[in-house]
Amino acid sequence: MSKEYVQIDARDNIIVALTGLEKGRTVEVKGVNIVLKENIRAKHKFAGQNFSIGDEIYMYGVLIGKAIKPIPNGSAITIENVKHASAAYNSTKKSFKWNAPDISKFKERTFMGYHRADDSVGTANYWLIIPMVFCENRNVDVMEGALSEALGYITRKDFAVDTQALINKYKSGANEEELFATSIIHTKDELSKNRVFKNVDGIKFLKHDGGCGGMRQDSEALCRLLAGYITNPNVAGATVLSLGCQNAEVDILQKAIKQNDPGFAKPVYYLRQQDSGSEREFIEEAVKRTFIGLTKANKLERKPSPLSNLVLGLECGGSDGFSGISANPALGYASDLLVALGGTAVLSEFPELNGVEQELINRCKTDETAKKFAALMDSYSAAAKALGSAFENNPSPGNIKDGLITDAMKSAGAAKKGGTSPVVDALDYTEQITRHGLNLLCTPGNDVESTTGLAGSGCNMIVFTTGLGTPTGNPIAPVLKLSSNTHLYEKMKDIVDINAGTVISGEDSIESMGEKILEYLIATASGEILPKAVLKGQNDFIPWKRGISL
C-alpha cells in the first residue's frame, strides 16, 4: 500500500490516514485537493467532503454512520460528530458471481493430519476431560495435577515468577521501593520432550461455570457444545465427569454426539460421582480410564490429507483502524484460496456483520440459506434490544481509540475476513459444519465465546486477526494470531504469529499476504509450527449463555 492515506472504495466519502497527518497539509483525493483542518492520527479518518447534519457517511463502500454535526472536509471523523447507521436489508438475494482466485500454487498440496473414522481429519490429537457441571471443576483440577506433568504435558512457560524472593525481602524489612526493585522473573522453558504418548498432543480440561442453575436451554446448549468438542476432528476421545443431578444430563450429551456423528466410534468414558463410593474411588477410576484412553489415542499417526479437509475459523479481536485494510482482507484472500481448494471457512461474530447483511445475503447460494441468515440476525438484534442494548454498542473503548468509531464501520472491516466466496450455509450456535465452502456461524462478538463456538461447530484451525493484541487461544483448535500492523507485531512477538502490517507498508499485497497465511496454515496443520497461543497454554473456553439464571 505504501501511502500516507487511502480511499478504500470509490464510493467512500471519508479517507483513512495510514500515518499521522498534520493540520494544514493539503492532500489529493481523486483529483480534489483537501486541506486538513486538524491533526489526523494514524488509523483514523477524515472527511472527504463537507457534511451537513444527517448526511450519510460511507466506508468500504457501505453506510457506516450519519453526521450529527456539520463536518467540514478535512476534519477528523469522531464519535462527537458521527453516530452509527447501517443499511437496511431483506432476505431476498440478488444475483452474484464469484471470481475464484488462482489456486495453481496449492492445488496438489497436502497437510499431515489425524484421520478419523468419520472421514474428518484433525490438525491435532487431544484427549478431553469434561465436567458436565461446575460442581466437578475441582475434580478436574485434581486430574490435571495427576496427569499433566507425569505424562509430559507441562505447557511451555517463557518465564517463572519467583514470589519467594519478594517474601524474603519483605521479611528482611525492605521498603516499597526496594520491593519493587527486586528481580522476580526468571526465564523458564518447560515444554516437555519426554511425553509418554508421542502421538497425543495434549490433555485438555474444559472447566466451565454452567450445567445447572440457569435456564434449561443453556444447559442443553452446553451439552451440544461439548458434543461438538468431542466430535471435533482434533479430539481422540474424552473422559466425562458428571455429578448426577445437574440439568446438563449425560443422555442429552450422548444424543447430541449421535446427532453429530451417527457412526461415532471414539472412546468416551462417563463417570457419575453420585454412584461412586467416595471421591477417592471416583478420581481413581477417572484417571485409570483416561490413561487407557490415551493408549488408544496414541495409536493414531499423522498421514497426508488434501487441503479440502481444513475447516478454518475466522476470528478478530482487539481490532484497530488497520484491521479492515490489512489483516482481515488478507485472511479473506486466504479463505477464498481454501474454499477454491474445496476446503471450508467459517465467519462468525454476528454483531460484527451489522451493515453488511445484504452483501452476505446476496452471496448465499440458496434462498433457504439467505432467509436463515436474515432470521438469525433479526433474532439476535431483537434479543439485544430487549436487554437494553443494540449492535451499535459493540465497539469497545480500545476499538474507538484506534479508529473504529461505529459498529457498522467495525463490521464492514470485520466481514473482510470472509473473503468474497459464496455462502453455502448459515448456522446457529452449536450447529455443526457439514458443507464445504464459506459458512456463517451465529456467535457473539466476545472473542472467547466466539472461538469456543467455532471449535464446537467443527473448526480444526482458527486464525485470529488483531490490531491491539490479545493472548486468546482455544483448547483444541490451534489459534494463529495475525497482526494488522507492524508496530503490534514487533511489540508482542511473544503472542502474535504473523504480521500483516507489511500490507500497510507496501511490502505485501493482499494477495501475497493471503498466500503466506495459507502456507503458515498448512505448516501448522501438519504440526510443524506450534502457534504462540498453544505454546503458552492459552486454553480459553467460555460457553455462550443466552438465557437468564434461575
Q: Are residues 227 and 346 in the same domain?
A: no
Query: Does the pLDDT at position 117 exceed 90?
Result: yes
Q: Are residues 336 and 203 in the same domain?
A: no
Per-residue confidence band for 416, with pLDDT thresholds at 50, 70 and 90: very high
Mean pLDDT of the chain: 93
The owner of cell 474445496 is: 342
pLDDT tens, 522-539? 999 999 999 999 999 999
Q: Are residues 412 and 485 in the same domain?
A: yes
Query: Does the pLDDT at position 550 exceed 50?
Result: no
Cα(109)–Cα(546) distance, rounded to whole angstroms? 41
Residue 270: CATH number of its domain: 3.40.50
**Does residue 292 lie within any of the structural domains?**
yes
- Return the ∠ at Cα 200 (arms to 199 and 204), rounded to 5°: 170
**Does residue 185 lie within any of the structural domains?**
no
pLDDT of residue 349: 95
pLDDT of residue 260: 98
Give the type of residue at 432. Q
Domain count, the chain: 3
Name the nearest CA neighbour of 369 among 360, 379, 381. 360
Q: Which residues contact 139 (CB under 8 A, 6 or more apart)?
A: 131, 241, 273, 279, 282, 283, 286
Q: Are residues 127 and 253 in the same domain?
A: yes
pLDDT of residue 160: 75
**Does residue 99 lie within any of the structural domains?**
no
User: Which of 22, 56, 84 finishes a domain?
Assistant: 84
The owner of cell 459458512 is: 439
pLDDT of residue 192: 52
User: The domain containing residue 65 runs over which residues?
Assistant: 5-84
Q: Are 123 and 113 in contact (CB under 8 A)?
A: yes
The arithmetic mean of pLDDT across residues 236-242, rounded, is: 98
- Output 545 or 465, whichever has higher pLDDT: 465
Going by their DSSP bridges, the two strands 82-84 and 62-67 should be labelled as antiparallel
Helix (H) or strand (E) holding 28: strand 26-29
**Does residue 411 lie within any of the structural domains?**
yes
Per-residue confidence band for 161, with pLDDT thresholds at 50, 70 and 90: confident
The owner of cell 499431515 is: 112
**Does residue 458 lie within any of the structural domains?**
yes
Cα(184)–Cα(257) distance, rounded to whole angstroms? 47
Q: Are residues 346 and 420 in the same domain?
A: yes
Cα(282)–Cα(287) distance, rounded to whole angstroms? 9
Q: Are residues 196 and 311 in the same domain?
A: no
pLDDT tens, 377-409? 999 988 888 877 777 666 778 788 878 888 889
Rg value, the chain, Cα:
25
Query: Does the pLDDT at position 18 exceed 60?
Result: yes
Query: Does the pLDDT at position 426 exceed 50?
Result: yes
Q: Are residues 296 and 420 in the same domain?
A: no
pLDDT of residue 396: 77
**Does residue 104 lie within any of the structural domains?**
no
Cα(346)–Cα(417) distance, rounded to whole angstroms? 9
Q: Are residues 128 and 235 in the same domain?
A: yes
pLDDT tens, 340-364? 999 999 999 999 998 999 999 999 9
In DSSP notation, 206-246 reads ---S-SSSB-HHHHHHHHHHHHHHHHSTTEEEEEEEE-SSS
User: Which of 303, 324, 340 finishes a domain?
Assistant: 303
pLDDT of residue 549: 47
Query: Does the pLDDT at position 548 exceed 70?
Result: no
Per-residue confidence band for 2, with pLDDT thresholds at 50, 70 and 90: low
CA dihedral of residues 453, 458, 461, 462 (deg, nearest 10):
-20
Q: Are residues 286 and 338 in the same domain?
A: no
pLDDT of residue 503: 96
Q: Are residues 246 and 315 in the same domain?
A: no
pLDDT of residue 224: 98
**Does residue 457 lie within any of the structural domains?**
yes
Cα(96)–Cα(8) distance, rounded to whole angstroms? 22
DSSP 91: S
Helix (H) or strand (E) holding 321: none
pLDDT of residue 97: 92
User: Which of 241, 271, 303 finishes a domain?
Assistant: 303
Per-residue confidence band for 547, with pLDDT thresholds at 50, 70 and 90: low
The arithmetic mean of pLDDT across residues 78-89, rounded, is: 92
**Does residue 297 lie within any of the structural domains?**
yes
Q: Are residues 289 and 332 in the same domain?
A: no
Residue 52: CATH number of its domain: 2.30.130.110
pLDDT of residue 327: 97
The arithmetic mean of pLDDT across residues 99-115, rounded, is: 97
Q: Are residues 205 and 327 in the same domain?
A: no
